[in-house]
Structure 1
Amino acid sequence: MGGILGVLGASILESLLLPMLTNPNQGLSLSGGLAVGLIEEGVKILAVIFLARHLRRATTMDGLLLGAAVGMGFAAFESTGYAFTAFLLSQGHVGASIAETVLRGLLTPFGHGIWTGILAAVLFRERRHDRFRITGLVIVTYLFVSVLHGLWDGLPSTIYFILPPGIHIPLVSLVIGVIGIIVFVMLYRRAVRGEIYQPPTATT
């Protein structure tokens, strides 16, 4: 459900805001990519907040897992759209759709799930008295994952890893993905330590 909400929200906002930031001949510009990052990371975290609105207990680990789930759901719907577009642009060649699906499947673990998981983990960590708070750390994290997303979409790809049968994976995507995974793993380890150590409850 979170993925559906995110895709719908992003589709509406991007259709209104992005035409002026795209290059018809080259796809997204860097500014367009950054705008996409801000929009999509924003709608995904709003979907997380909506899904978690009734949670009584919300830990950093809860945010990490829920954010990753919403991000992966978003990626699944987005990838379906890209695969269908590739099918249409290739004039009905199924191979083009399959190649696009495989490529996005390989890159998905480095993208949406990581970014939304990072932001949701910080958002849940900053939560107090069953209320989400937009603190400075949350804003900085939102900008961080949005920039990663924007660079992923907007930087030109000139160097590729080629996997059989001829699938081109941009090096820039792998580098950005590794940065995100490092931050995600750091948050995961902190969340695990937080789950293991529970402060003693005061008794009267």
Structure 2
Amino acid sequence: MKARLFDVRLILTDMSYLKNIKTYLTTYRWTWVLIGGLGLFLGAEQLIKLTHGTNFLPLLVVLGAFIMPVTFVVFIYERLPLANITIRWVLASFFVGGMIGLLMAGMLEYATGSSLSPAGLLRVGVIEEAAKLIFPLLLFWGGGFRAEANGVLFGVAAGMGFAALETMGYGVVSLIQSQGDINLLEQVLLFRGLLSPAGHAAWTGIVCAILWRQRAEYGRGPVNMAVIGAFILAVGLHIVWDIASGLNLPVVWAVIVLLTVAVLSLLLLIRAIRHARYQLRRGNSTV
């Protein structure tokens, strides 16, 4: 009994563990974004179920579509703390870049009559990967952001903004087709949210990393073989992703293909982030 009492007193007097928790929460702000977003989403879900108020469904769609994209962008922003870039430019790339990319992709896909045929999937891949680069390219040419880390941040943010808005569209479609089935909506939001970092964010982040790297290392413009190769790689990953998720493949094969593309995309993005961090440290050491 005395031993237990001593342990309780020791825990109460030693508050270092609380300091560690505080340090973690202030250092890793993405956890606040994730926890807060999930709390709001669950609150909106319960409100709809209790009141049967369909007027709250748009709130549920917006929260579900944006929780993971915003969390992932904040996570990457914290991995590149020396990028000399304020969060407002990252947010601009997320919202403005995402909207421009989605609008341009939608118009071009409609104009070209994209379909699930091989040629149609190729058009979709090229159009969407190019559309997501519009706003990052504007920053590349006129924003004065020179570090490779800037390119990674802008690319990931633009890709995630595109993915969030696209997920909102899929969520609305699922509600209409299912006549308001919230469970189906949540499945769509969960599936697309969990996979979004390994999709649009990774592909655009990889291309922008190579784009900025080529200028930093060789002083060349945006068109060279390395950048073209990165863009072709992003388009290829996009096409394989669409084949696995859009065609009637057996479930097992679809899951295997999606996971393979997701792992490869994330590994390439992680490699780009590490290289960007290395370039930042090397630049600071030479100042």
Report the TM-score range of the alignment, normalised by the length of the smaller protein.
Answer: 0.7 to 0.9
Larger radius of gyration: 2
CA distances 1:3-47 after superposition (whole Å, capped 9, x unpaired): 00000000000111134xx2xxxxx23432222111100011122
Q: Secondary structure at the match of 1:58?
A: coil
What pairs up with 1:23-38 in 2 under 5 angstroms? Answer: 28-38=116-126
Structure 1 equivalent of residue 136 of structure 2: 48
Alignment partner of 1:151 is 2:237: no
- How far 1:132 moved relative to its partner? 4.0
CA separation in 2, counterparts of 1:100 and 1:146? 24
Q: What's the counterpart of residue 174 of structure 1?
A: 259
Q: CA RMSD in A?
A: 2.2
> After superposition, what is the alpha-carbon deviation per residue over 1:132-166, rounded to whole angstroms, capped at 9, x for unaligned?
421111111101001100110124442349xxxxx
Inter-CA distance 85–18: structure 2 relative to 1 (3 Å threshold): same
Identical pairs, percent: 33
Indicate if the aligned counterparts of 1:18 and 1:35 stay in contact, CA closer than 8 A.
Answer: no
| Secondary structure of the corresponding residue to residue 132 of structure 2 | helix
Q: Deviation digits for residues 67-107 of structure 1, max 9, x if unmatched?
A: 00000000000000011111111123222222111111111
Structure-1-length-normalised TM-score: 0.83
- Mapped partners of 1:152, 1:30: distance in 2: 13
Distance in structure 2 (CA, Å) of the matches to 1:34 and 1:152: 12
Partner of 2:231: 142
The verdict on how the C-alpha distance between 1:139 and 1:47 changes in structure 2, with shifts beyond 3 A counting, is: same
Instruction: Please tell me whether the aligned partners of residues 124 and 132 of structure 1 are also in contact (alpha carbons under 8 angstroms).
Output: no
Tell me which of the two structures has the higher relative contact order, counting C-alpha pairs closer than 8 angstroms and 6 or more residues apart: 1
Counterpart position of 2:269: 184
Within a 5 Å distance, the mapping from 1:1-204 to structure 2 comes to: 1-19=96-114, 22=115, 28-127=116-215, 132-155=221-244, 156=247, 157-160=249-252, 170-198=255-283, 200=286
Question: What SS class does the counterpart of residue 133 from structure 2 fall into?
Answer: helix
Structure 2 portions without partners, runs of 5+: 1-95
- Number of residue equivalences: 187
Higher helix share goes to which structure? 2
Distance 2:228 2:172 in 1: 35
CA distance in 1, matches of 2:270, 2:280: 15
How far 1:54 sits from its partner (Å)?
2.6
Deviation per CA, 1:48-78, whole angstroms, max 9, x where unpaired?
A: 1124443224211111111000000000000
Q: Is the 8 A contact 2:154 2:208 kept in 1?
A: yes
Counterparts of 2:188 and 2:118, CA distance in 1? 22
- Whether the 8 Å contact between 1:48 and 1:67 is mirrored in structure 2 is yes
What letter corresponds to residue 7 of structure 1 in structure 2?
L
- 1:166 corresponds to: none
Q: For residue 272 of structure 2, what is the amino acid of its counterpart?
A: L
Q: TM-score scaled to structure 2, two decimals?
A: 0.60
